[in-house]
A and B are shown apart, each in its own frame.
Chain A
Amino acid sequence: MHDLHAHLLHPKWYPPRFIDALLRDFARRQQAAGNPKPLPVSRQLLRMMADDDGATTIAMMDRAGIEKRAILVLDWSVELGAAPSTIGDIHRDILGVCARYPDRLVGFAGVDPRRTDAVEIVQWACDELGARGLKLHPTSGWTLNDQRTYEVVSVAAERNLPTLVHVGKTVDVLSDANARPAPFLELAATFPESTFIAGHSGFDLWEYFVLHAEMVPPNVFFDISGWQERVRGDGQNVVDDLRRLSSAFPGRICFGTDSPFYSFNLLLAEQRWIERVEPVLRGEWVRFDDLFQHRGGVAELQPC
């Protein structure tokens, strides 16, 4: 399997407000999953999720049968206050890990377009650090149809690199107001020669894409990371939704985990997610090469 949506987590790369929100989100999901007496687990949870050298991630991928994984940089320092590391160091660290595992990890740059040097950061990440895509997380005070966003996306587009956009819900200190399907589709239509991926397929907003399929340009793909949280009961609801999404957009569905945010780096969670969804589209899941070959893009995935 190719996992088109995952991250590395370490507290030095994220604002403390995000880490606090992450822990609150865990407690919320734990209760939603039916645990009536959640324990304080912050210390252990952060230790389990933290991986700043890729060793835990690669070991997990080996055991779970994940051949390649996209590692997406996230930049919330503008919105939530500074992370301990600068955005330059975050890219250097995370893309550096990807460079140590060139056959397994594919790094994506990530910036808040409100940074005055956002374009330069993405150029540097792509040209010097080996980023092979761009991640946008429009859950802060900027929009997908902002001129600054277009300028950042242009950097990826000029290099035939895909742009993955978070679509749908987020943690409580951020907002999904600017992360809806419609502005995402407008952005993708603005760059028809570039590949775009709807992160999480919008979570519970996924059906918007199916119901408005005529508005979805052919350069749009979908990843199902985070759908672990949408599982109800025996999970047939997710299987049914995945079949509908795939029927509407055959050959354009990407497997994703959003690890470690849903797996906590636990093999059990990774294995169960793969076992649940892999058979639904067996042999039809998008692979990295599909993204890079799309519409005349670069023919070959270069090591990151």
Chain B
Amino acid sequence: MLSERDLIRGALRDFIITQTDLPDSPLVSGDADLFALGVMDSFMTVSVVAFCEERFGGELPMVELGPENFRSLDALTELVARHQSRGVEK
């Protein structure tokens, strides 16, 4: 049984892979450094914010859009989980 966080992490991973055309393998690990992988820049950050708010509802506060919350899938998952307004469709 997947937890809500697993579902969020999976949706985020799928989104990032689709957006970047990266192979899945480096992102499988939730703590992989997205900056070191070259995945996350300011344009991608805006896209991730848009995706999260459309998919999970809620609004990600500006003060939490710092690099620390976009460094890994795990960090992003925690950010979304704190602010989502609706559950993830399985």
Contact = CB atoms under 8 A, between A and B. Distances in A.
B86 to A, nearest CB: 17
A269 B47 contact: no
Contact of B46 (A36, A41, A56, A271): A41
Interface string B36-49: 00001111111101
A29 interface: yes
A41 B47 contact: yes
B49 A48 contact: yes
Contacts of A264: 42, 45-46
B26 interface: no
A263 interface: yes
B49 A267 contact: no
B19 A56 contact: no
A242 B41 CA distance: 23
Interface residues of B, number: 22
Contacts of A29: 43
A38 interface: yes
Contacts of B42: 263-264, 266, 268-269, 272
Interface residues on A, range: 20 to 34
Interface in A243-291: 263-269, 271-272
A131 to B, nearest CB: 27
A271 B67 contact: yes
B66 interface: yes
A35 B41 CA distance: 10
A267 B47 contact: no
B18 interface: yes
Interface in B40-75: 40-47, 49-51, 53, 59, 62-63, 65-67, 70
B67 A39 contact: no
B20 to A, nearest CB: 8
A63 B43 contact: no
A41 B44 CA distance: 11
A40 B46 CA distance: 10
B21 interface: yes
Contacts of B50: 39-41, 43-45
A59 interface: yes
A38 B65 contact: no
23 contacts: A30-B43, A30-B46, A30-B47, A33-B41, A35-B43, A37-B19, A39-B50, A39-B51, A44-B46, A44-B53, A45-B50, A48-B65, A264-B45, A264-B46, A266-B42, A266-B65, A267-B66, A267-B67, A268-B42, A268-B67, A268-B70, A269-B42, A272-B42
Given A30-B46, A30-B47, A47-B59, 11 more contacts: A36-B21, A37-B18, A38-B47, A41-B50, A44-B49, A45-B46, A48-B65, A264-B42, A268-B41, A268-B67, A269-B42
Interface of B: 18-19, 21, 40-47, 49-51, 53, 59, 62-63, 65-67, 70
Enumerate the 5 nearest inter-chain pairs by beta-carbon distance, A residue then B residue, closest first: A269-B42, A41-B50, A44-B50, A30-B43, A267-B66
